[in-house]
A and B are shown apart, each in its own frame.
Chain A
């Protein structure tokens, strides 16, 4: 009986991940705020893949409740995937600290808080995989979304450190850096087709990387090379670009 815990299960990527892992025989624990929204998705996954699916209430920003949340889980997961995030609005975040704060807290502080609790459990059990959905936006700061990007950069760095710490405990940490993904979060953005993934492609890439114990993946794969180029533009040039 393997279980996958999906934190922030209402997003399109999270649902695709739940389907993918369930299709491979994992029982799913879907955690999210206003979890009752997930009842239909849970039933759908249950029927399609003949596994059990549990829906649990989880508020990422309620740090104080994180320990109680994890301890209350009926079955402890073998795989924990941190999917929740908040894109926010860059312009608004520049002018309004509340928005900036929420971006940073959701993408970094909350993720760090809950994953520390899970990491401690996995470390003690000397088993498990932690998967963090970060973003290519964290690879280099750009004027169009650097507040979101800096929070994701912190999250990526956090995952790298966690991987380093847990390697000796047989616990694996996978960093996932999606590029553009066609989801509810990006529904209004004009995304370029060839480098835009569907949530199902992201889920398939993540599962493959999980099986192969990869440390870090980009999805779609071209983003590894795109980001290599973007990271290597000299700063004097980069700062003049409109990205």
Chain B
């Protein structure tokens, strides 16, 4: 009930802010919406042409579907195929020319978009669960949410989970996803014991850290360019309860925030929300949340103690329609951020949260991406080396405030290194900013790229939709080695996405 109230409050704030903002927008900049629409239409048309020309003539009428990933941009027509068995997949892979595997479409941009898309969603069976050792073996299309439903009641948990559980195992491996535990537990692939993969010639191969190790590390975080993940064995961690002991602490500025992160390095989970609009001495204010899996003795409610591994299924709400584009604007976001910061008490707040609320607060709002409207949104997530983080973060926050582009959610986290060929993570701070796609945004993000590059940082491919080749090549360390290895596997760049072409990983 409390959650529903919170959501209602949030929606009410957004609506109020939207109305106020829209009124001011229409007075101040009556034609900005029109320009954006025209510009985006132009860009969209260009992409559609690109897809049409790349698709083989014979298949033009087959299974054509208009899809986009989580950011709702770009939205393109692709040849879309599904499979339930290996024989069907083999036929698809062997015939394909410009293809990428796609799970639940939760990457934000075009990582899982190509002229031909093979969806793994119907290839979703569990193969084995060893509840003594904590190992689960499943096909690539199984969602992390489905794994949690199986393992949590029996005392196990995923060692690494991102902020949504609505992603597939295949996607988690291809993006080598991470979560609030990155600084301690590393990335998803660090806990993958074995992967079965279909290569471009239709051969199915198995790889792990011990066997075909090079293929394993090229596939982990390889953005789907080595083939289609068939199934994987995952190592789990034992838990006593389905709950998290959480502490939430307010930080009045960036220095306090960074200190809190340093002090929280021993905690399994940590993440912070930042009020990006706070300026001057308050720059970087927000609150940090840190957590540990709760022990039975830490549970307070009798009902929880009785069934420590069971949680009530959260009631979910849906965003049934795309919000009008004026709903999220500078003023509504300012209002939202100020209220969010103001509502948090000035002290440390301890609580016991069910794991869904701690890890996946947004999953209870189905289709929350629609609040950005039909224009879509993107997430600009960058990371900076630790010694450069403070200076770089301040520069970027200033730049955003000056430019007047308003990100909606701003998330800060301290990371540690990552183990594959295309690692996003390094020891340092990452900031993730959600921007509705508006006119001039991409040019502005190009400017931010320069600051990120200057400080030795890089951008997260899974959230990206616009980074250029130069930025990518200069910021990622082992790109040449990766390309060399993929060339050997990827029959004439058979596996490719719009993103891999754009940043120069293929073509």
Residues in chain A within 8 A of chain B (CB atoms): 40-41, 43-44, 47-48, 50
Inter-chain contacts of A40 with B (CB < 8 A): 125, 127
Residues of chain A lying within 8 A (CB to CB) of residue B126: 43-44, 47-48
Bound-state Cα–Cα, A50 to B154, Å: 10
CB distance from B128 to the nearest CB of A (A): 7
How many chain B residues touch A (CB < 8 A): the figure is 10
Q: What residues on B are CB-neighbors of A48 within 8 Å?
A: 126, 146, 149-150
In the complex, A41 Cα to B127 Cα: how many Å?
9
**Contact in complex: A47, B149 (CB < 8 Å):** no
Tally A-B pairs: CB < 8 A: 21
A43 touches B128 (CB 8 A): yes
State how many angstroms separate the Cβ of B498 from the closest Cβ of chain A.
Answer: 28
| Chain B contacts for A50, CB-based, 8 A | 150, 153-154
> Contact between A43 and B146 (Cβ–Cβ < 8 Å)?
no
Give bound CA distance, A43 to B129, whole Å: 10
B62 vs chain A, min Cβ distance (A) = 13
Q: List 20 A-B contacts (CB under 8 A).
A: A40-B125, A40-B127, A41-B125, A43-B125, A43-B126, A43-B127, A43-B128, A44-B125, A44-B127, A47-B126, A47-B128, A47-B129, A47-B150, A48-B126, A48-B146, A48-B149, A48-B150, A50-B150, A50-B153, A50-B154
| Smallest CB separation, A52 vs chain B (Å) | 14
Give bound CA distance, A43 to B125, whole Å: 8
From residue B344, how far is it (CB to closest CB) to chain A in Å? 39
List 3 tightest A-B contacts by C-beta distance, closest first.
A47-B126, A44-B125, A47-B129
User: How far, in angstroms, from A50 to B309 measured CA to CA in the complex?
Assistant: 15
Alpha-carbon distance A40/B127, docked complex (angstroms): 7
Q: Which residues of B contact A (CB under 8 A)?
A: 125-129, 146, 149-150, 153-154
Nearest CB in chain B: distance from A113 CB, A? 31
CA–CA, A150 and B213, complex, Å: 60
Complex Cα distance, B137 from A43, in Å, reads 11
Q: Which residues from A are CB-within-8-Å of B153?
A: 50
Find the residue from A40, A44, A47, A50 having the highest chain B CB count within 10 A.
A47
B129 contacts across to A, CB distance below 8 A: 47
A47 contacts across to B, CB distance below 8 A: 126, 128-129, 150
Q: How far is the CA of A230 from the CA of B146 in the complex (A)?
A: 41
User: Which chain A residue shows the least CB distance to B85?
Assistant: A40
Contacts of B146 in A (CB 8 A): 48
| Closest-CB distance, A187 to chain B (whole angstroms) | 11
CB neighbours of A43 from chain B (8 A)? 125-128
B124: min CB distance to chain A, Å: 8
Other than the given A40-B127, A43-B128, A50-B153, 16 more pairs (CB < 8 A) read A40-B125, A41-B125, A43-B125, A43-B126, A44-B126, A44-B127, A47-B126, A47-B128, A47-B129, A47-B150, A48-B126, A48-B146, A48-B149, A48-B150, A50-B150, A50-B154
Please report the C-alpha to C-alpha distance between residue A224 and residue B180 in the assembled complex, in whole angstroms.
50
Q: How far is the CB of A19 from chain B (nearest CB, A)?
A: 11
Measured in the bound complex, the distance between the Cα atoms of B126 and A23 in whole Å is: 15
A10–B276 Cα distance when bound, in Å, is 55
Q: Nearest Cβ in chain A — how far from B443, in angstroms?
A: 40
C-alpha gap A47/B126 in the complex (Å):
7
Residues of chain A lying within 8 A (CB to CB) of residue B127: 40, 43-44
Distance from B204 Cβ to chain A, minimum over Cβ atoms (Å): 15
Looking at the assembled complex, report how far the CB atom of B61 sits from the nearest CB atom of chain A, in whole angstroms. Answer: 13
Chain A residue nearest to B124 (CB atoms) is: A44
- Residues of A near B125 (CB, < 8 A) are 40-41, 43-44
Q: How far is the CB of A18 from chain B (nearest CB, A)?
A: 13
Query: In the docked arrangement, what's the CA distance between A84 and B156, Å?
Result: 38
Contacts of A41 on B, CB cut-off 8 Å?
125
- Of all chain A residues, which has the CB nearest B126? A47
Contacts of B154 in A (CB 8 A): 50
| Smallest CB separation, A141 vs chain B (Å) | 34
Please name all residues of chain B whose beta carbon is closer than 8 Å to the beta carbon of A44 when the two chains form the complex. Answer: 125-127
Q: Which residue of A lies closest to B149 (CB)?
A: A48
Q: How far is the CB of A73 from chain B (nearest CB, A)?
A: 25
CA distance A84 to B259 in the complex (A): 65
CB distance from A190 to the nearest CB of B (A): 13
Q: How far is the CA of A145 from the CA of B126 in the complex (A)?
A: 38
Q: How far is the CA of A41 from the CA of B150 in the complex (A)?
A: 16
A146–B146 Cα distance when bound, in Å, is: 42
- In the assembled complex, how far is the CB of residue A163 from the closest CB belonging to chain B, in whole angstroms? 35
Q: How far is the CB of A114 from chain B (nearest CB, A)?
A: 27
Q: In chain A, what residue has the closest Cβ to B84?
A: A184
- How far is the CB of B231 from the nearest CB of chain A, in Å? 11
Bound Cα distance A41, B139 (Å): 12
How far is the CB of B166 from the nearest CB of chain A, in Å?
A: 17
Query: CA A128 – CA B150 in complex, angstroms?
Result: 29
A47 to B146, CA, bound (A): 11
Tell me how far the C-beta of B147 lies from the nearest C-beta in chain A, rounded to whole angstroms. 10
Taking the closest CB of chain B, its distance from the CB of A67, in whole angstroms, is: 33
Least CB separation from A37: chain B residue: B85
CA distance A238 to B153 in the complex (A): 56
Q: Which residues of A contact B150 (CB under 8 A)?
A: 47-48, 50
A40 to B139, CA, bound (A): 11
Cα distance A40–B137 when bound, in Å?
12
A23's nearest neighbour on chain B, judged by CB, is B149
Q: Residues of A contacting B128 with CB < 8 Å?
A: 43, 47
Query: Which residue of B is nearest A44, CB measured?
Result: B125
Closest A residue by C-beta to B127: A43
Nearest CB of chain A from residue B245's CB, rounded to whole Å: 27
Whole-angstrom CA separation of A48 from B138 in the bound complex: 11
Closest to A184 in B: B84
Q: Point out which of B126, B128, B153 has the most chain A C-beta atoms below 10 A from its C-beta.
A: B126
B95 to chain A, nearest CB (A): 19
CB B152 to nearest CB in A, in angstroms, measures 12
